[in-house]
Structure 1
Amino acid sequence: MPQNAIEILKKDHEHVLHLLDQLTDTTTRAVKGRKELLEKIADELSIHTTLEEEIFYPAFKDATSKSKNKMYYEACEEHRAVESLVLPDLQNTEPDSVSFSGRAKVLKELVEHHANEEEEDMFPVAKEVMTSDELEELGEKMRKRKNALKKGH
């Protein structure tokens, strides 16, 4: 059954948060596991943020009034914080260190906060201002783009 844009994004949130749970549950001895999980998380976040920034966010911004655009800009800044600061910092941290554990926890908290804001604030507004056909169409674009991105990873 086809999924609309919001369902796809929520499923991505669930998947990434599950991986982050696994990462934060590891110990300093799980060097290989931490590296593998972090690589998966980085790939999933990259694909997810690309879908949001290229497809969902522009459609959301176009469909909403200027008063709701604040959500768009906040979401973009949260992506930037994760992609430019927190994630690279974690990737450059030794997996067997206590610092890694702390940084992984911060990444998880940021992603949880971002996902909750989207699901509780942005997605309900999107459902109000976009038709179900528009959301299905965005979902189809996102599926195609996601498949192309996964081939590149």
Structure 2
Amino acid sequence: MATAAKSTTSSARKSSGRKRRTARRDPLSIRLLKQDHREVEGWFDEYEQLEDDAEKLALFNQIALALKVHTTIEEEIFYPEERGDVEEDMLDEAYVEHDGAKKLIAEIEAMKPGDEFYDAKVKVLGEYIKHHVKEEEQPGGIFAQAKKGEEDLDAMGERLKARKEELMAELGGAKSH
């Protein structure tokens, strides 16, 4: 019994230590952007399991809204403020990847589930986003370089959060999350 209690205490200490290190390692702006990444990745996985066209449409609309908001806050706030701290080529590629994703989203929005290539386009969009996320999150990637820079990433996080709430209200109705 004492061993189990000791083990639990040790696990709790390790766990809370990990949280502190993660919080210190990832400022608010990076945490918010990564949270968006995880959420959309989960929705793409969920989409793969759906068979009902109405459910597919509803989930795709949710994905599209999240991606439009996410790309906008990165392009309006994160990327411009990271110029000089992050390699120019990486930021340029990120803008181009966003543009490609937006074009594919527009193509899918002009279709409906059941149309030829609808599911294939959603799958390719998911793979495209996964690649983009990897470029941002990998060691030496955009986020890693941003954390080494001069910008106050916690203050930027507050701006990202506020702009995301505005966009969610504007583009998605009154809901924000």
Structure-2-length-normalised TM-score: 0.76
- Unpaired segments ≥5 residues, structure 2: 1-22, 173-177
Note if 1:93 corresponds to 2:120: no
On the 8 A contact 2:108/2:121 being kept in 1, the answer is yes
> 2:75 and 2:49 mapped to 1: Cα distance?
30
CA RMSD in angstroms comes to: 1.6
> 1:110 and 1:43 mapped to 2: Cα distance?
16
Residue matched to 1:137: 155
Structure ranking higher in helix proportion: 1
The within-5 A match list for 1:60-71 is 60-64=82-86, 68-71=87-90
SS at match of 2:83: helix
Note if 1:123 corresponds to 2:147: no
User: Which stretch has the larger CA shift, 93-102 or 46-55?
Assistant: 93-102
Note if 1:150 corresponds to 2:174: no
- Unpaired segments ≥5 residues, structure 1: none
On the 8 A contact 1:24/1:104 being kept in 2, the answer is no
> 1:141 and 1:107 mapped to 2: Cα distance?
27
On the 8 A contact 2:85/2:145 being kept in 1, the answer is no
Q: How many residues align?
A: 144
> 1:72 and 1:61 mapped to 2: Cα distance?
8
Note if 1:12 corresponds to 2:31: no
Identity value in percent? 31
Deviation at 1:53, TM superposition (A): 0.3
On the 8 A contact 2:28/2:157 being kept in 1, the answer is yes
